[in-house]
Structure 1
Amino acid sequence: MKLVCHIGTPKTASTFLQNTMVENRDWLQQNGVIYPDLLARSPNHITLFYAASEQIHDFAREYGLKTRADVLHFREKIGHALDRQISDAPKNARTMLVSSENLTGNQYSIQNLRDLFCPRFDDIKIVVYLRRQDDAILSMYGEYMRKGFNGMSFPEFVSACLGKGSPTPYLYYRRMLSSWINIFGKPALEVRLFDRAHLAGGDILRDFMTVVFGSDLPDLSQIRRAAQDNTGLAAPVLEFLHRMYPYIPRRKNDALNMDRIRLGPRIDALPATPRPQMAPDLSQKIMEHFRPANSWLRKTFFPEFDGPVFPDRRPGDLDSNMGQISLAQFAEYTGHLFT
C-alpha cells in the first residue's frame, strides 16, 4: 500500500482538508483511499506528532502522555492502529492518507516517523504546501491571538518569528524541507505553493486530490466540502485580544485557564472583517529575511520559475490596519464576550 503523508504547513487550509477527508471517508474508500482513525480526537492526525516526539508536548498530556515510557507505548499503539486499518482495508484500497500540519514543527523526530511508516508501506509521498512567509506570519498571529497563546503586539510577533527560537520554525523552508530530504529523500517530497495561481483549478481541494490520486483523478462532484471554519478574525479584533490578554491568558498558574477556554466559542464568533493588512515595508522586511532560503527553494523544487517563488508585492498594496481599534469597537467586543 502507498502512503500519502500531508504535513501542512500551518495556515494552508489543512483544517479544511482534514475535515473534508473525514466527511468523505466512504467516498475515499470507494475510490481506494483510506483516511484512518489514528486515536486522534479530531480529523488532524496529530497523534503521529506525539508518537514521534522525543519530548512531552504540552498538548500530548491530553492523551495521557506524561513520561518517555508513555510515548514509546503510544507509538506502539499507533503502529497497531495502522496495521489494523491496513488489514481491514477493502481489496481496492491502494493508498492510505494521513494529515497533520504539526509534522512541520521541530519538537519531534522525523526518523521515528520513518521507522513507523517504512515497514508498512511500499511507497511514501510527503506532501507539503508552502505560503508566502509574510502572509503566513500575519495569519499565524491571528491564530495566536484567537487561542491566547501569548500577548505580543504584531511587531513583537514578527520580531519573534524572525529571531532565534521562532514560534514559526516551519517558515524556514530550506531548514524544514532539508530535514525531510535527509530522512525520506528528495524524490519523496511533493512541494506545492499555497497560491491560487499555482493550485490545480485555483482550488486547494482539487489540487490536493490531484496529488493523492495522480493521473487517476476520479469525479470530484460528489465530495462534500467541509465548512471553512478557520478563516480568522478582523484586524481590530486581534488588537482587542492583544490588549485583553493579561486578563484572559490561555494559561494561569501553570494550568489551562478555564475561563479563557469557556470564552473560546464567543471569541471565534467575533467579526472577521476588516481583514488584517500588513504594512508594505514590514512585508518587504519579512520577505528579505527569507530571501536566501526562498532562492534555495526555487532552485531545488521550482527550477522552471523565471523569477522568485514569491514575487514582490505591488507598490499599490494597502497600508497596515494592525494595532488599531476604536473605543466603540472595544465596547462592542467586550459586550459580546461577557454579556
Structure 2
Amino acid sequence: MRLLLHPGHAKCGSTSIQRAIIRNRPGLADNRVVVPDPHLRLPGDAGFDPHGETPREFFRQVMENGGDTTSLRSRLASWQESPLWRDATFVISAENLINHLMGPIGEGIHRVLAEYFDDVQVIYYIRRQDDYLLSAWQQWGFKEGKSFAEYSQEALRRANPHYLAVGQAFGRLYGAAHVTVRPLQAEALRGGELLTDFFAHLVEDPSTLSFNQDRSNLSLNPFFCEILAGYQGLFRDIHDDRLKQRLIRTLGAGNELFQRERDFMDPEMARRIMAHHREENARLQQQFFPHVPFEAVFGDRDAGESDPAVRGRLSRDRAEQLQRRVIRDLLELLQSMPEGARSPA
C-alpha cells in the first residue's frame, strides 16, 4: 500500500487541498486513489461517508487518548485485508498530524503509519513567515485581544512557525527522500498553483479533476481585526467563528469586511520577521528546495509607505473608513428588514 500524507501546516493551503480532495473523491477512486472518511473508513465499508471531511477528528481523539494507537492499527489492518484497495494509493490530510511531532504521542502515530505502508510520501506546504503570522493572527490571535504587532512579537520569541524542525522530523520518521517541502510560491509549484501541484502526486493529469478556486477559509479584514481586538470577551476562545459566519451570512463573502489589505503590514515589521527567520530559512531552502532561488521565496518585498507617522495616519484613516462603511451596510440592512423582524423576541 502507498500513502500520500499531507500533514498541514495550518494556514498553508490545507483547507483548499482538503475541499478539493473531498470534491474529487469519486474521480480519484477511478484512478485507484482512496480518500478515507473522518473515521478512516473506506468506500465499501459499513457507514462510509462519501461526503465526509478528512480524518482530523480521528487523529485528535487518538492524541487526546494519550496517543493510544489501537484504533489506528485496527483501521489500517482492515485496509491491508481489503481486496478492493490492495494496489491503491491512500490520501490522508490532517493539519493536526504535526501536533506533538517532537514527542511520543505524535511520533507514535507516525511510526504506526510508517509500519503499515510500503511507501509513504509526505508533502508539506509552507508559506513565508510574515504571511503566515498575519494569516494566523487574523484566524486566532486578534480573538485574544492582541494587536498584530503584539502577536508577531510573541511569535518571534517562540520562533514560530517551526518549518525546518517539522521537515526534519518527518525526514527522520519516513526517510529524507520521502519528504517534499514546497513553499507557496508559483516558482516552487508545479503549474505554478497549489492544487495542480498537490494532485500531480496522485494522478497523471490533474486537469481532469474539478477544482473550486474560490477563496477558502475566509479571513476578516485585518483593519477590522485590529478593531475587534479591543473588545474583550467578544469570543469564547480562539476557535470561535460565530461572528465571522454571521457576517458572511448577513453581508456576503464579497463584503469589504473580508477584503485582503496589501498595505496593512508595516514593511519594517515584515523585514524584521523575515530577518529573524533568515538563517533557518536558508537551511530549509538548501535542504528541501535548492532548485528554487532563496530570494524568490523569502526575499524582501516592495516596500510601501515606510514613515511611521504617515503609516499610522493611513492605518487610522483606513480603519475609520471601514467602520463607517460597516455601520452604513448594517443600517441599510436593518432598514430593509420588516418591523417585526427588527423587534426583540
**TM-score bucket of the superposed structures, by smaller chain:** 0.7 to 0.9
Equivalent position of 1:100 in the other structure = 94
Q: How does 1:1-339 map to 2 (within 5 A)?
A: 1-39=1-39, 43-47=53-57, 49-50=59-60, 53=63, 56=64, 68=66, 72=68, 75-88=69-82, 90=84, 93-106=87-100, 109-144=105-140, 148=143, 150-164=144-158, 169=160, 171-213=161-203, 217-218=204-205, 220-225=207-212, 227-244=214-231, 246-251=232-237, 262-268=242-248, 269=253, 271-275=257-261, 277-305=264-292, 307-308=294-295, 310-317=297-304, 325-326=319-320, 327-329=323-325, 331=327
% identical aligned pairs = 23
Structure 2: runs of 5 or more not aligned = 41-48, 335-341
Q: Following the alignment from structure 2 to structure 1, what is the Cα–Cα distance between the partners of residues 292 and 146?
A: 37
Aligned-pair Cα RMSD in Å: 3.2
Cα displacement (A) at 1:302 = 2.6
Q: Following the alignment from structure 1 to structure 2, what is the Cα–Cα distance between the partners of residues 14 and 212?
A: 16
For 1:103-142, what per-residue CA distance to the aligned partner results, in whole angstroms no more than 9, with x for missing partners?
A: 2334763321223213321001111011111111111111
Letter in 1 for 2:223: P
CA contact (8 A) 1:6 1:100 kept: yes
Q: 1:220 to 1:80 in 2, by over 3 A?
A: farther
Equivalent position of 2:339 in the other structure = none
Larger Rg, first or second structure (1 or 2)? 2
For 1:182-209, what per-residue CA distance to the aligned partner results, in whole angstroms no more than 9, with x for missing partners?
A: 2222112011111122211122111001
Number of positions where the alignment pairs a residue of Structure 1 with one of Structure 2: 307
Letter in 1 for 2:17: L
Q: Following the alignment from structure 1 to structure 2, what is the Cα–Cα distance between the partners of residues 204 and 295?
A: 22
Q: 1:181 to 1:17 in 2, by over 3 A?
A: same
CA contact (8 A) 1:294 1:308 kept: no
Q: 1:200 to 1:152 in 2, by over 3 A?
A: same
Cα displacement (A) at 1:163 = 1.2
Q: Following the alignment from structure 1 to structure 2, what is the Cα–Cα distance between the partners of residues 99 and 337?
A: 40
Equivalent position of 2:337 in the other structure = none
SS of residue paired to 1:211:
coil
Q: 1:310 to 1:262 in 2, by over 3 A?
A: closer
For 1:35-77, what per-residue CA distance to the aligned partner results, in whole angstroms no more than 9, with x for missing partners?
A: 1014289624213542553xx4xxxxxxxxxx54xx52xx322
CA contact (8 A) 2:221 2:258 kept: yes
Structure 1: runs of 5 or more not aligned = 57-66
Q: 1:44 to 1:145 in 2, by over 3 A?
A: farther
Q: 1:337 to 1:204 in 2, by over 3 A?
A: farther
Cα displacement (A) at 1:79 = 3.0
Q: Following the alignment from structure 1 to structure 2, what is the Cα–Cα distance between the partners of residues 152 and 329?
A: 24
Q: TM-score of the superposition, structure 2-length normalised? A: 0.77
CA contact (8 A) 2:274 2:298 kept: no
Using the TM superposition, name which of 119-128 and 100-109 deviates more.
Answer: 100-109
SS of residue paired to 1:282:
helix
Q: 1:104 to 1:92 in 2, by over 3 A?
A: closer
Equivalent position of 1:62 in the other structure = none
SS of residue paired to 1:124:
strand
Cα displacement (A) at 1:238 = 1.3
CA contact (8 A) 1:25 1:35 kept: yes
Q: Following the alignment from structure 1 to structure 2, what is the Cα–Cα distance between the partners of residues 187 and 332?
A: 56
SS of residue paired to 1:37:
coil
Letter in 1 for 2:226: E
CA contact (8 A) 2:122 2:179 kept: yes
Equivalent position of 1:61 in the other structure = none
Q: Following the alignment from structure 1 to structure 2, what is the Cα–Cα distance between the partners of residues 2 and 196?
A: 28
CA contact (8 A) 1:5 1:97 kept: yes
Equivalent position of 1:64 in the other structure = none
Cα displacement (A) at 1:156 = 0.5
Q: 1:125 to 1:296 in 2, by over 3 A?
A: same
Q: Following the alignment from structure 1 to structure 2, what is the Cα–Cα distance between the partners of residues 39 and 307?
A: 40
Using the TM superposition, name which of 268-277 and 278-287 deviates more.
Answer: 268-277
Q: Following the alignment from structure 1 to structure 2, what is the Cα–Cα distance between the partners of residues 317 and 26?
A: 46
Cα displacement (A) at 1:18 = 0.5
SS of residue paired to 1:125:
strand
